[in-house]
């Protein structure tokens, strides 16, 4: 027990460092590439993530203490985990979950049901085609499809906050199908 | 720490209309009417302490008339004479030049006020059609020029002019230096001059809506990290959050009497239409369907709303009485019809029509059911009628930028409205007629 406490005392700050050092880097990359959301969204990602890291539950369950030999730290920070994929994509004017999105949503749902004190914002987005307020509704409908699957998989609805940005926060700035495909999406913000 | 980050993120600035003026939009005709009517607007006479008049009233009038597409103003260098009073007019000069209409005027300073007189002549009949005199301070001279333009337009076309009106629109601008994006809601005169900031935020702003008296704007702001509806007085910058329910608070639309806002709220599960009595905040729910119901627009008589709904599988336009009832579908042509808005006479509805991947502005004639597509580009949206029903302003994409454009209701006149700075412009809304200056 004493050893565990000791290990935690080391691991938690390490995990917190992870939270502080890596995520801002991601922000920079994403912003210059214009490939992810705006700085605001990313910084909220950082904040909530950092609070999650301080959570003893998530610190204990993972990695190092039990000597799995794999990634040490919160699986949310594991670049090899499906949890590192924070975006799922949709077809035009559709809110049905595509098959390529299932595994990602399930991984997040498993994590959340195993960490009932962790909360997530599920952000729905649309591409620029069509009208803005309709797209706001469409973004919400996409967020809702994701939320419904997560609840079915055992995530408490109190853990999920939904918000739609419609077409107002594109991930890619172009005006062609390549950009649109990246913009029809739901993002998971921890 | 969290709080301060939050504060910075939520930082936004409100400016009253008395703020600093900048050039805002430049409007160019991209397509005019064959046989636009020639008119001569002679430079106004000037009497005052300074060398030059504080405003070139004649140029403002001439530009307005030209942008309408219905008039072809004579170039100043082609004028054979430059009369400033009725006695100086030699009709023969103007008949020779083939300009059936002639505008002359005078501007004089009297203390800190200016006196502006103008006369419009029918050259062929050799008679004055109309003439007025105004007194105004320097800051209102552009407005007077717009009023004069309205009088000339109405006298010659029989239709009310819409020059003395305002526009509102949103810009989105990315600042490379500190890698931030700012969303700004602006108000400008109908000619794009006198641009004033209404609100600026790092979070998106959308869906501005003019109150019928032209004093207030309702809009949607994400400053609290989700869409909420605010109402702001454009003169005092005072604002109020009127709708902050769970989920979407969107698509505000003022009733013609200015007492109610129709809106789309998802607080009860998904986007439904509601009418809010603004003073009391009392809500009345109008639609009950699991489809998306949004983008309401009031009929000018205040009895019906048209709106976008995908209850039939795809977005189409429906109509519903404001006291509730069964929605009636209005559009059947095209896979995607959305964001409807009534013409001022209530006889037409303008909307976004999507077909084969192109989104264009279309007008539905309600009596005949005939739909006409007015634009040719592929990403047109947010159409809004001028208060006289002559033009429709909308947002489009040009050279990879979001720009504004306008088209006459018959599709013959087209204007491009470029932002005078970097960034994308979007969601233009034409404001109501302004009451005439009485000073």
Domain identity same for B10 and B136: no
| B188 touching A (Cβ < 8 Å) | no
- B140 and B57 fall within a common domain: yes
Same domain for A93 and A175, yes or no, is yes
Provide the domain count of chain B: 2
**CA separation for the pair B93, B78 (Å, rounded):** 11
Q: Which two tokens stand for residue B29?
A: 């005709």
Q: Within a domain: residue B146?
A: yes
Q: What is the pLDDT of residue B175?
A: 87
Q: Report how many domains make up chain A.
A: 2
pLDDT of A14 over the 90 cut: no
Nearest CA distance, A168 vs chain B (angstrom): 6
Asked whether residue B175 falls in the same domain as residue B141, the answer is no
Distance from CA of B292 to the nearest CA of A (A): 6
Q: Could B206 and A133 be called an inter-chain contact, meaning their C-beta atoms sit closer than 8 Å?
A: yes
Of B202, B271, B339, Cβ closest to residue A137: B271
Residue A187 belongs to a domain with what CATH number? 3.30.1330.60
Do B78 and B153 belong to one domain? Answer: yes
Residues of chain A with C-beta less than 8 angstroms from the C-beta of B380: none
Q: How many CB atoms lie within 10 A of CB A148?
A: 13
Boundary (domain end) residue, out of B139, B157, B175: B157
Where does a domain end: B157, B185, B207? B157
Using an 8 Å CB-CB cutoff, list chain A residues near B225.
44, 163
pLDDT exceeds cutoff 80 at A157: yes
Q: CA-CA distance, B301 to B308, in Å (whole number)? A: 20
- Tell the burial category of B190 from Cβ atoms under 10 Å away from its Cβ (0-12, 13-18, 19+): buried
In terms of domains, do B111 and B180 share one?
Answer: no
Encoded tokens for B108:
């004089």
CB proximity B5 to A under 8 Å:
yes
Which chain B residues are within 8 Å of A175, Cβ to Cβ?
Answer: 379, 397, 400
| Contact between chains at A168 and B222 (C-beta distance less than 8 A) | yes
Q: 105-164 in A: which are within 8 Å (CB) of B?
A: 128-134, 136-138, 140-141, 144, 162-164
Q: Which of B247, B384, B395, B423 to mutate to test the interface with A (most CBs of A within 10 A)?
A: B247
Cα Rg of chain B, angstroms = 23
CB-nearest to B308 from A129, A134, A175 is: A134
Identify whether residues B126 and B181 lie together within a single domain: no
Q: Is residue B151 domain-shared with residue B210, that is, in the same domain? A: no
Using a CB–CB cutoff of 8 Å, tell me whether A26 touches chain B.
no
Q: Which of A129, A121, A133, A130 is nearest to A186 (CA)?
A: A121
Q: Is residue B25 in some structural domain?
A: no
What does the pLDDT profile of chain B (439 residues) look like in tens digits? Answer: 444 434 333 333 333 443 444 558 888 778 777 779 999 999 999 999 999 999 999 999 999 999 888 999 999 999 999 999 999 999 999 999 999 999 999 999 988 999 999 999 999 999 999 999 999 999 999 999 999 999 999 999 999 999 999 999 999 998 888 888 999 999 999 999 999 999 999 999 999 999 999 999 999 999 999 999 999 999 999 999 999 999 999 999 999 999 999 999 999 999 999 999 999 999 999 999 999 999 999 999 999 999 999 999 999 999 999 999 999 999 999 999 999 999 999 999 999 999 999 999 999 999 999 999 999 999 999 999 999 999 999 999 998 899 999 999 888 889 888 888 889 999 999 999 987 544 3
Boundary (domain end) residue, out of B112, B136, B157: B157
Smallest CA-to-CA distance from B342 within B322, B364, B357 is with: B364
Q: Do both B151 and B192 map to the same domain?
A: no
Q: What is the DSSP string of A19-69?
A: HHHHHHHHHHHHHHHT-S--HHHHHHHHHHHHHHHT-HHHHHHSGGGG--S
Distances (CA, A) of B83 to A54, B58, B74, B149, B293: 82, 13, 14, 19, 59
CA separation for the pair B91, B93 (Å, rounded): 5
- CATH value at residue B92: 3.40.50.10070
Contact A137 B248 (CB under 8 A): yes
Whether B28 maps to a domain, the answer reads no
Q: Chains A, B: CB contacts under 8 A, how many?
A: 98
Of A40, A128, A133, nearest to B379 by CB-CB distance is A128
Q: Is A176 on the interface with B (CB under 8 A)?
A: no
A183 and A122 within one domain: yes
Q: What is the pTM of this model?
A: 0.83
The reply to whether B30 falls in a domain is: no
Q: Which domain holds residue A143?
A: 81-190
A140 and B270 within 8 Å at the Cβ level: the answer is: yes
pLDDT (0 to 100) of residue A70: 64
- Whether A166 contacts chain B with CB within 8 A: yes
- pLDDT for residue B14: 39
Mutation for testing the B interface, residue in A34, A45, A126, A131 having most B CBs under 10 Å: A131
More confident residue, A39 or A76: A76
B83 lies in the same domain as B176: no
* Contact criterion met (CB < 8 Å) for A128 and B336: no
How, if at all, do strands B358-365 and B196-201 pair?
A: unpaired
pLDDT confidence band for A74 (50 / 70 / 90): confident
Check whether residue A60 and residue A86 sit in a common domain: no
Whether A133 sits inside 8 A of B310 (CB atoms) is no
Same domain, A170 and A93: yes
| A86 and A59 inside one domain | no
Q: CB of B7 within 8 Å of any CB in chain A?
A: no
Tell me the chain A residues in contact with residue B359 when contact means C-beta distances shorter than 8 Å. Answer: 129-130
**One domain, residues B234 and B103:** no
Is B29 contained in some domain?
no
In this structure, what is the dihedral angle of CA atoms B346, B349, B350, B351, given to the nearest 10 degrees?
Answer: 150
In a domain, A23, yes or no: yes
Question: A75 in a domain, yes or no?
Answer: no
Question: Which SS3 state, helix, strand or coil, does residue B332 take?
Answer: coil
For residue A133, which residues of chain B lie inside 8 Å, CB to CB? 206-207, 250-251, 264, 294-295, 308, 339
Which of B169, B177, B272, B381 is the mutation pick for testing A, counting most A CBs within 10 A? B381
Tokens of A64: 């190092």
CATH code of the domain in which B308 resides:
2.120.10.30
* A35 or B331: which leads in pLDDT: B331
**B341 contact partners, CB below 8 Å, separation of at least 6:** B297, B306, B349, B350, B351, B383, B384, B385
Residues B178 and B229 in one domain: yes
Other CB atoms within 10 A of residue B163 CB: 27
Q: What token pair was written down for B200?
A: 């600026």
> Does B207 contact A at CB distance below 8 Å?
yes
Please indicate whether, in this complex, the C-beta atoms of B294 and A133 are within 8 angstroms of each other.
Answer: yes
> Are residues B231 and B128 part of one domain?
no
Residues of B in contact with A165 (CB under 8 A): 204, 222
pLDDT for B23: 58
Q: Would an 8 Å CB–CB cutoff place B316 in contact with chain A?
A: no
Structural domain harbouring B179: 2-20+165-430
Residue A74 lies inside a defined structural domain of this protein: no
The answer, yes or no, to whether ipTM is higher than 0.95 is no
């Amino acid at each position: 027990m004493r050893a565990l406490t000791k290990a935690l005392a080391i691991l938690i700050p390490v995990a917190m460092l992870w939270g502080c050092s890596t995520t801002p880097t991601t922000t920079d990359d994403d912003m210059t590439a214009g490939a992810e959301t705006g700085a605001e969204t990313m910084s909220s990602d950082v904040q909530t993530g950092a609070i999650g890291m301080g959570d003893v539950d998530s610190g204990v369950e993972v990695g190092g203490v039990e000597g799995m030999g794999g990634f040490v730290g919160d699986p949310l920070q594991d670049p090899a985990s499906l949890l590192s994929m924070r975006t799922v994509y949709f077809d035009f004017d559709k809110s049905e979950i595509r098959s390529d999105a299932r595994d990602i949503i399930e991984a997040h749902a498993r994590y959340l049901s195993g960490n009932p004190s962790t909360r997530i914002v599920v952000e729905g987005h649309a591409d620029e085609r069509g009208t803005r307020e309709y797209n706001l509704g469409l973004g919400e409908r996409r967020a809702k499809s994701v939320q419904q699957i997560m609840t079915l998989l055992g995530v408490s609805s109190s853990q999920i906050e939904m918000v739609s940005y419609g077409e107002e926060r594109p991930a890619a700035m172009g005006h062609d199908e390549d950009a649109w495909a990246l913009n029809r999406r739901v993002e998971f913000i921890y | 720490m969290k709080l301060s980050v939050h504060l910075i993120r939520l930082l936004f600035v409100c400016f009253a209309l008395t703020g600093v003026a900048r050039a805002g939009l430049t409007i160019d005709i991209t397509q005019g009417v064959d046989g636009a009517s020639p008119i001569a607007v002679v430079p106004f006479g000037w009497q005052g302490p300074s060398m030059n008049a504080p405003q070139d009233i004649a140029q403002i009038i001439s530009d307005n008339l030209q942008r309408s597409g219905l008039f072809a103003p004579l170039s100043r260098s082609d004028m054979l004479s430059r009369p400033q009073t009725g006695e100086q007019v030699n009709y023969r000069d103007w008949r020779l030049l083939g300009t059936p209409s002639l505008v002359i005027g005078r501007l004089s300073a009297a203390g800190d006020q200016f006196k502006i007189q103008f006369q419009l002549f029918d050259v062929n009949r050799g008679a004055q059609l109309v003439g007025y005199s105004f007194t105004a301070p320097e800051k209102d001279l552009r407005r007077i020029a717009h009023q004069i333009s309205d009088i000339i337009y109405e006298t010659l076309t029989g239709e009310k002019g819409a020059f003395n009106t305002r526009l509102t629109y949103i810009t989105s601008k990315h600042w490379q230096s500190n890698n931030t994006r700012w969303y700004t809601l602006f108000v400008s005169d109908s000619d794009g001059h006198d641009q004033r900031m209404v609100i600026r935020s790092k979070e998106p702003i959308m869906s501005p809506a003019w109150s019928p008296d032209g004093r207030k704007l309702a809009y949607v702001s994400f400053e609290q990290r989700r869409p909420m509806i605010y109402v702001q007085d454009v003169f005092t910058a005072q604002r109020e959050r009127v709708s902050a329910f769970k989920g979407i608070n969107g698509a505000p639309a003022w009733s013609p009497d200015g007492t109610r806002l129709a809106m789309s709220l998802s607080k009860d599960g998904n986007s439904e239409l509601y009418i809010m009595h603004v003073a009391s905040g009392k809500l009345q729910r109008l639609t009950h369907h699991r489809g998306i119901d949004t983008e309401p627009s009031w009929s000018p008589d205040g009895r019906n709303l048209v709106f976008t709904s995908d209850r039939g599988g795809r977005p189409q336009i429906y109509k519903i009485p404001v006291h509730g009832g069964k929605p009636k579908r209005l559009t059947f042509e095209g896979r995607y019809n959305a964001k409807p808005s009534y013409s001022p006479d209530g006889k037409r509805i303008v909307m976004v029509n999507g077909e084969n991947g192109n989104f264009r502005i279309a007008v539905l004639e309600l009596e005949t059911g005939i739909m006409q597509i007015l634009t040719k580009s592929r990403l047109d949206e947010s159409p809004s009628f001028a208060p006289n029903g002559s033009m429709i302003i909308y947002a489009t994409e040009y050279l990879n930028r979001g720009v504004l454009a306008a088209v006459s209701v018959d599709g013959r006149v087209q204007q491009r409205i470029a932002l005078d700075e970097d960034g994308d412009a979007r969601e233009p809304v034409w404001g109501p007629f302004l009451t005439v200056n009485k000073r």
